[in-house]
Every structure is written in C-alpha cells, then in structure tokens.
Chains A and B, each alone.
Chain A
Amino acid sequence: MMPFPQIGRQDPPLRFIALALLAGLVVLLAGLWYVQVVSGKRHLEAQQNQSLRTLRVPAVRGQITDRHLQSLAVDRPVYQVNAYLDELRPYFQQEYRRRRPPGKLTRAEVSALEKQARFNTVSNFVRQLRLPVPMTLTEPQLHWHYTNKLALPLSVVRGLTPAQVAVFMERGGAVPGLDVSVASARTYPQAIAAHLIGYLKRDDSSFEDEDSFYHYRLPDFVGRIGIESLFDQNLRGRAGTRTMLVNSLGYRQSEHMSTPAEAGHNVVLTLDLGIQRAAEQALASVRPDVEGAVVVMDPTNGDVLALASAPTFNPGDFVPRLEAEAWDRLRDPQLRPLILRATQERYPPGSIFKIVTGLAALEAGRLNPAEMVPNPGYFQLGSRSIKDTAAPGNYNFRRAFIHSSNTYFIHHGLQTGPDRLIEMGERFFLGQSTGLLPGQEVAGQFPSPTKLREGWAPGDTANLSIGQGPITVTPLQMAVMTSAIVNGGKVWWPRLVDRIESPENDAINPVQQFPAARLRGSLNASQKNLDIIRDAMLADVEDPEGTGRRAAVLGLRIGGKTGTAEIQRGGRTVDKITWFVSFAPYEQPKYVVVVMVESGGSGGLTCAPVAQKIYRAIQQLERSRSAPAVTQVGG
C-alpha cells in the first residue's frame, strides 16, 4: 500500500517538510535500534544489576555416622523468627508519622527518628507474638541490616523450640512481616571422637565450580580437621542460589530459587560408637586431664573401631563461633587438646617393642623359647649397665615376656643383630605413616639400614631391643603391629571411612565404597613363631605373675603386652610413656586394643585397667547386639 505517492510533487516546501519529518523519524528509529537492539544487552545487564540480588544458600551438610549409622555429626534444623522488612515498610512509615513532632526537622533528626521507628515497629510486633524467648535483635543490628542487607530477611528471635514454633503458628498470622524460618546448625550429638570428626570454621566463600559473585551469602562453614576437613567436598554438597528482585529503594519485591542447593553426602565411618565411647570414658577414668590415646582395631581387616585421644574438646563449641575462653583452653601448651594423640604424636614404644625383637629373634632361628637365660638384675654391656625391672633369675621366653625382662631381650637382640631387627621393624612399616588421617598423622621414627653403616654401636642395638633409643611410634602403628601378630602376619592399611553415600541414594550418586582389608604387606613369619608370641601375650594377662594381669576380663581371653618407656633427659628420667597393646578373643582375635597414657605409672598399672574397661564394654555391647538378633531368628 502506497498511500503517499504524490506528496508535494508540485509543492517543494511541502516536499521538504515531508522529507524533514521522514528524516526525523528515521533518526528516532535509528536511535531506538541502537539503544534497544545494538546495546540492548548492556542495558538489560544494567537493569538486572540494579534490581537483582543473589544470595548464596549453603547446602545441608552431610552426616558423619558410625558403622551402625549413628549420627556423630549432623545438621540439625534451627528455628528462628525472621522479619521481612519489605512487608514491615508501611508500618515503619506509620510509626514514623506517629512519632514525628510537628515542625521542621534536620536531616539527622529525621534519620534518627526513622531508625527508632523501625526498631520500635519490629520490637512491638515481636512482643505481640508473646514468645517466651526474648528478642535477640538490637537496634544497631537492625540498622546495620537495614543499610547493608535490606533485601534479606532479618533474624529477630533465634533458637525456637518446636513447641514455640507451634505457638508462633497460632499467633503469627495476626502479626505482619514476621515468619518462622528454618536454618541448619551443625551439631555433634555424641560430642565424641572430636579429633577424628573435626570441627567447622565459618567460611562463606564460594568453592570451585560455583558462582563466585553473590550480593549476599548465608553463613557457611568449612571443615577444619578430621573427617569434616578431609571429606569437606563430599559433606558440603553444592550451595544454591536464591535470586531476589529489589525495588529502587532496595526492598525485596519477590524472590525465587534459581539453583537449589544440593545436600551434601553422608560419610559412614568404620567407627563403632559404643566402643569409641567406652574407650573415651576408660581413658578419662585414669585421672583428670589425662593425656593419652586408645586405638581399637579389627585385626581381621584393619578397620578402626575406636580412636580416642585425651584431653579432648567439644566440636560443637566451634559453631557458630568459638568463645575466647574455649579457645584459650584449646591452646593450652601443656594439654594441647587439639592434638590427636593416637596418630599425631611420637612416643617411644618401650617394652611393647619386645614383640618385634622376639619375633625377629624367633624368625632368625637364634631363639629357643625353652632355653633359659640368666638375669642378674641388669645387663652389662661393656662399661654400661642396663637395669632390669624383672627380678634376678633364669628366664625362658614366656617368663621373660610376661615379666618384660630387659636382660633377656637385649641378649637376644644382640644375638639376632641390628639388621635383622631393623628389617623386621620395616615389615611392620614402622617409621612410615599409615595414611589414615593426612595432616593429623606423624610417621614416627625408625632407624634405617643406612643408619647402621654410620656408627651403629651394640649399645644402640641393646636400646632398640627394648624399644628405647632412636625409635618412636604412634598408638595407631602399634595397633597395626598387634593386628599383624594375631592375624597371621597381615599388615593392613588401617581404614576409617567405610563409604560415602548420597542422601538420595540414586543412580547419579552411587555409593562410594572404600574397600576393607587392604593389605599393605606381610610379615612372612611362620605361624609357629607368631603363635609363640600370641601365647606369651595371653600369658601376660592370664598368668598371675604377668604384667598385664589387670586387663583380664572374665569370659574373654585376652592377650597383651605392657610397656613403660622412660624419657630421659640428662641421665634422669623425666617422664614415662606407658603402654598396653592387646587383643581378644585369644581363640579368634576380633579386637586389638592399644592404650597409651603419658606420664603414667607403668603399662601394667595405668594402661591395662583401661584396656580391661574397654573389653568389658565390648563384651556388653556384643551381648546386647546378639540378643535382639536371637529374638529375630526365633520370631
């Protein structure tokens, strides 16, 4: 359709006007094209920039459970009352008008009055709820929130019980702008195995492959030590994003979840809560502020059933933040509660190393268990005299073992020679870390074969034979060692995490299983020799003369070895590290219990009773667990 073919043919001025109009419209069209199409995207971004606010919403953190799926660390819902400032805004204005005195006000007066009006409105509304909990909000908090996070709801009453939530639900409808919301807080319901579970530290920052830019972030935490830290990636899940539309004043207009958070995965440990608790209680019973560690391991596969360290702490203290007082206690230079003594500290093994010396001598074929070795009460090595706590007399292997005779084992250690001793120690991977808790584990020390060529004296061999000198171990290493003795020579990689599973448990998130019974090496020792040591350990507990007799439990045949390592400084004994390594039941070992106490009396007096308590608890647990199983079979 051409409605204007002839315009102004005969009328140049009119034609000029028409062309001018056309030109003007074309200019507008070009301008609009430029603004809306060419640079439209930039303007759209500008528009979103000023009106969209993003909020990082952390996911619910995964649980940490023991092998029977009992929660050790879990996110618990926390109820709070939130104020929605956008809904309260008309009431702020109302309150302001009510309070405003007539006449002209300065800008400062107006803003002070507005602040008061806002706080009054909120606290009035909260009062109307008549909750038995006081309002946690203060006026400066409200003002800070108002200026910085206007678009976000503001928590006004924290820590509501479910009953109080119900009260709110009844009354809340009548009070505008307030609503209950659920947040989650990390809790450690058992307050147990703190070093192992770890704790959280406030950290709201984005993680890899997350959006790095957010206007606001809800509080988030990152694991610091233990499982919380090692499996932080699995536990934390993926944070979500909530997008809010705000108006020109910054009030929230609407919001929607643009990316929902994905809940974190659960970590199932090999730990047995019952045994862990027994171990911690037994350890704590030694004395107040005891410094020590307990490891309970399944010798058939290397699973860690309990890993206790004293003194301990409550991981719950770190959430939402650690109080200064608690922090001071954690930093105590003597107690060092944050140290996991089962893996993170080196201890001289003392007499428990006689197990290794004995096995090396037996394997070398130089030791006849029945042969008597005379003990004058000390061992004379050149000009040095090494005292023996065992009474003077003649000792065969069994007697020497249960009395922990230094003379006997130094004699046989020297007979066997240092290279065989060191070679046997290496079969137990002494001096190497077990890899159980990277960052919380030390390797310990063990002389290397090269060390032998650099000025090794018979005195060093004598020291090594009785677990003194240049050798330090961790209780966990001793548990691995004891397991290898009683399981026929298998040295395991100890295992703490059984599996990681998603709460949904679907095809996209398959269960990640960590295999049990990972063999690290073999002792290649004859079963006969292993049995000799096993029998000697049994005798140590069951023989009335045995140093470990205080570990005995009725109805459970326990084998063990005590140790008391002296820490000497300048020729004087300054401290004692006491040990008890043990296993049970004798017939079919299922538990290895290693107890270590710093500054104890002796292995037999201090540590064996701790092991006894643990075995009793294990006995109880086994009975209670098998009882329902029997009814099930019967039913």
Chain B
Amino acid sequence: MFDATLPSQQRKIRPDGLLLFGLLALMVLGAAFIYSARAAHEASALIAWHKQLHFRQIIWYGIGTLAAIIVCLKDYRTLARWSLVFYWATTLLLVAVIIPGIGAMRYGARRWIDLGFFQLQPSELAKLAVILALAQFLSRPQEELREPRTLLKAFGLIALPFLLVLKEPDLGSALMLAAPGLAMFYVGGVPPRFLKRLIGGGAIFALLLVASVLFAPPKWQVLKLEDYQKRRLLVYFGMNYAPANATPAERSRALADQRRDSYNVEQAMISVGSGGLTGKGWRQGTQNALGYLPRGVAHNDFIFSVMAEESGFVGSLIVLALYATVLFVGIRIASQTRDRLGKLLAVGVVTLLFSHVFVNIGMNIRLVPVTGVPLPLLSYGGSSVICSLVAAGLLQNVHLHQKSI
C-alpha cells in the first residue's frame, strides 16, 4: 500500500512446484508407455522415428506446455472476460463437427475435424470453454444465483454443448462436461434446492434410460440410444444381447456379437489383473504385444491397461498418486484463492481432470461402462493433451495471479 513495488517483490509467487512435478511425471510416463504400447508391433519398427506416436505425443506435450505458459501470462480475470467468445467459437465448432463433410466420420461417430496435420476434437475444447464460461458466469454475486432466470442461463451454458456433443454421438465426453458443471454450481453457491432437483432429475433420467435399454422391449424404448451405446451398457451390466424370444439362429448371432463387444473390456481386465503386484516390466506386457488388447485402442483409451500390466499395482498406485497430487494441489489452489472466479475455475479444472481419471481407469477395471474418455496426459491424442495442459495452466494461472490479501 505504501510502496507499490515492495509487497509484490516480497510476495513474488512462483508456479506451484508440486503441480509441475506431477504433470511432468505424468508426461514422462505417458511417453514411455505409449512407446511400449506401440513398439511391440512389428510395423512400428518400420515407421520413421519422428512419425512414431510416442514422439508425436512428446510434441503434443511441448505444444500443450507452451499453450499453458501462454495461458499463464495473462491474469485469469482478463482471460475470463474472453470466455464467452471462446465459448461461442467452440459451440460453432461443435455444430460444424456434426455436419457431414466437415466432421470426419470414424467408428460411427463424427467427433473430429480433419485439419490435415491434426485431428481436432472440438469436444475437448468444449470442456475448457464450459469451465471458463461457467466460472465467469457463476462468479457474479451469490445473491443473483438464487434467481431462477440466472440459474436457467447457467444450466443452459452446460446444456447447449452437452446436447451438441451428445449428437456426435459421444455420451462419454458429454458427461465429462456435466460433472465439472455440477461441482461448480455447488461450490459457486447455487441453492442446494436447485442442485438437488438437478441431480435428482439427472439420476431419474439416467435410471430410466438404463432401465429401458436393459429391460424394455424395443417398441417401448422412447429414449433412443445409439446401438453401440446400448451394447456397451448391456456388456457393462452383463446382460444377454438376445431377447428372450429369440430364435436359436438369432441367439447365436447375438452371442457372437456379445463376445466381440465384451472382448475389449475382458482383455483390459486381463491386462490389468495379470500385472499383479509388481507388473511384468516395461515393454514386457504380452496382452498388447500379442494383440489381445486391440491395437487401435492400446495407446489411447486403454493406455492404462498397458501400464497396469507392465508396472502392476505398484505402477497403478504411482499413477493414482500423481493424479492425486495434481488434483489436491488444485483443491489447495482453489482454497487459497480469494476471489470466486479463481476458485470456480480451479474447482472446474480439478473435477474435469478427476472425472476423466475416474471414468477411464474405472472402465479398465469394469467399474464404469466403456466410453471413449481419454486418460489426461497419458492417453495418446493431441486435443486431449493440449486441453489437459491448458487446464493445468489455468490452475497455475489462478495460483500465480491470486489476489493479495
């Protein structure tokens, strides 16, 4: 107050070291195990080193880190002012991706925009956009949050990208938008009454959905899910594909389908489980090398299976500890920051990362149905890596630019 330069010099805040350590360690593990997941295949030896996925992942790490540093340069309050612009730009991309011709069709879904050198996944951007926009929106005085109109607007902020992502279809990513949203509502001070209704409504909806998929005859299913989504649910709940009145031929076809669909999950379980306490050693995992774990997913959605098989429970513990470090540093940052915007941002980022970790690892051990949710920083993929690092950058930003007491 007396001297403008003195306090800032004394209170010079450095980036949170523990957070940096956690992120760096995760990136090292990610590169190492993507290498392991790919190197087992004969074909990978023929690919030039700079085209190999572990190397490309390192490039993504580099780009992501750069983006995170850039994010940290400006005070998050400044960034938040641009949040709506970012939000609507992303929404535009989400609309674009579901238009045939712009969005590239893969595995029966339009989730990517092919930029030639890069497959952009707008749903990843949407996760950041929602957190930023929602934090900005909810950081208004708490009293305003009691007004239904404001609440409805806040709800709409999540609902719009949620529905668009659902349309791709990508239920997993859509749900990844909902989890941080709810947490931010809660921390932001939205009245519990409203939250209860929201959660209750969501739960009833989900229950009805699952029940209708599992038990209702086809004609009664008002709520339409994509075929593969239905199957994943059936696999998860261990239900028979064949309807009760199926002919033997239908039954055997259904059984064959079921085997194929439950294959990934079974093989992931076997991979994780066969790792045992200490694992088989880096690059010694056979599930991936012998192709039991499908090659298409071993390095991205199922990278955790590769890690768990090769490093065992000890390795799983280390991975979880690293994520816990990142997450709880995030919580600490949220608790230390003095303004609501910073806290909301931190909570949003933390819950976003957490829900990814939970769903991805959970699906490897059959806690959660299979969804295409990547494991932050470990799964191969540019969009995911960059968004995760930018999200972590936002955390650092909140930490660096927290308001002085």
The interface of chain A, by Cβ under 8 A from chain B, is 3-4, 6-8, 11, 13-14, 16-18, 21, 24-25, 27-29, 31-37, 39-44, 46-47, 50-51, 245-249, 253
Contact = CB atoms under 8 A, between A and B. Distances in A.
13 contacts: A17-B187, A21-B350, A21-B351, A24-B354, A35-B273, A36-B316, A37-B313, A40-B313, A51-B286, A51-B287, A51-B290, A247-B289, A247-B291
A600 B9 CA distance: 128
A17 B343 CA distance: 12
A7 B335 CA distance: 6
Nearest to B367: A31
B273 A36 contact: yes
A37 B274 CA distance: 9
A36 B332 contact: no
A4 B332 CA distance: 7
Nearest to B192: A13
Given A43-B272, A47-B270, A25 B320 contact: yes
What bracket does the count of chain B residues touching chain A fall in?
35 or more
Contact of A47 (B183, B287, B312): B287
Contacts of A16: 186
A46 B367 contact: no
Given A8-B335, A35-B273, A40-B277, A21 B365 contact: no
B361 A28 contact: yes
A17 B331 contact: yes
A72 B284 CA distance: 50
Interface in B335-371: 335, 343, 347, 350-351, 354, 357-358, 361-362, 365, 367
Contacts of B358: 24-25, 27-28
A16 B350 CA distance: 13
Main secondary structure of the interface of A (DSSP, over half): helix
Contact of A17 (B183, B286, B287, B308): B183
Contacts of B343: 14
Contacts of B272: 32, 35-36, 43
Instruction: List the 10 closest A-B pairs by CB distance, nearest first.
Output: A43-B273, A248-B291, A47-B274, A247-B290, A40-B276, A36-B313, A44-B274, A32-B316, A43-B274, A248-B292
B228 to A, nearest CB: 21
Contact of B291 (A4, A18, A40, A249): A249
A312 to B, nearest CB: 54
A51 B313 CA distance: 22
A516 to B, nearest CB: 58
B92 to A, nearest CB: 31
Most chain A beta-carbon contacts within 10 A, residue among B313, B323, B347, B350:
B313
B176 interface: no
B367 A11 contact: no
B161 interface: no
Nearest to A40: B276
A514 to B, nearest CB: 51
B195 to A, nearest CB: 10
B335 A6 contact: yes
Contacts of B332: 3-4, 7
**Max chain B Cβ within 10 angstroms of own Cβ: one of A14, A24, A27, A247:** A14
B331 A7 contact: yes
B269 A35 contact: yes
Contacts of A37: 276-277, 313
A199 to B, nearest CB: 43
A40 B271 CA distance: 10
A264 to B, nearest CB: 35
